[in-house]
Amino acid sequence: MIISVINHTEGLLSDAEVQRAIRAINRQIAEDFAPVWDMSATLRLEGKSFTGRASPRSDLQHAVDMRGDAVIYLWHPVDVRQGLGFHAVNFLGIPYGFVFPSVSRALGEPWPVTLSHEALEILADPEVNLLVMGPRPGGNGMVFHWYEVCDAVQTEAYNIDGVPVSNFVLPLYFTNSEEAGSRNDFLSTQVNGRSLPSFGVNPGGYTGYFDPVTGEHGMSISEGDQRSLHRLQVKRSLGLTRRTVRYARRPDTSQTEAASIRSFLNSG
């Protein structure tokens, strides 16, 4: 997979900064992610370089170059609807993600970590339409967990060539029973002397799931986790994500389910 990265930050990030982050994330995918997930991709900076308001972005009919299998936009200022509009006009049907450097800053997270997060999740589930059956968080029965490889450990990072990149879960994370001696995330972070359990959440992270009984989407965070609550509150400024856009636009989505999807990031 080739993932095109387009710098639409209006000068907030230089192409040189972006190239440095891309180089580190490409190493992460090749050396850390691909060996355990058997999935590979290469990020590539594409599009015309520009600064200031008078940019190609202002004209949706003249898209910058994008030759990959998926695209991640570095976007500033935060304007989700404009970003989605740009994508719909120019690259409709292409898997995509957005990284808002100012939102990363508000979360206390370096933007390369967010870019790494988005890249790994696009690689694992390009069309955001995969779900994995697993135990209901905090209750009995089974639900369908979102197939997200970074959300559960999203406040954890490590450095490659001086660039911070996101921690991620490993395949055994999506198993219903504990595997003796298994590792469920790349860093094997210990929380209170215990590693991340299958379908679990580390402090600062969250997981989303679909409940087939209620027909609604929910979330799971660690009890009393103020970092996760803060993250969700900051994300209210986004309003929509790749997964919520896909589910809310599905033709057979009920009004109740659509409302539940749209309000997911406004909870907490």
Q: Using one digit for the tens of pLDDT, what is the confidence trace for 12-35?
A: 999 999 999 999 999 999 999 999
List 194's β-bridge partners, or say none: 191
Q: What is the pLDDT of residues 76-132, one digit of tens each?
A: 998 888 888 888 888 888 999 999 999 898 888 999 999 999 999 999 999 999 999
pLDDT mean across residues, the chain: 83
Burial of residue 68 (CB within 10 Å: 0-12, 13-18, 19+) is: buried
| pLDDT at res. 260 | 46
**Closest alpha carbon to 124 in 200, 70, 179:** 70
What whole-number distance in Å separates Cα of residue 12 and Cα of residue 52?
10
Confidence band, pLDDT 50/70/90 cuts, at residue 176: confident
What whole-number distance in Å separates Cα of residue 199 and Cα of residue 133?
10
What whole-number distance in Å separates Cα of residue 144 and Cα of residue 137?
11
What's the whole-number mean pLDDT along residues 187-202?
92
Q: What is the pLDDT of residues 38-86, one digit of tens each?
A: 999 999 999 865 544 434 555 555 566 788 999 999 999 988 888 888 8
Full-model pTM = 0.86
What whole-number distance in Å separates Cα of residue 119 and Cα of residue 164?
14
Domain boundaries, the chain: 2-266
What's the whole-number mean pLDDT along residues 250-256?
48
Q: What is the pLDDT of residues 202-244, one digit of tens each?
A: 998 888 899 999 988 888 887 667 777 777 666 655 654 666 6
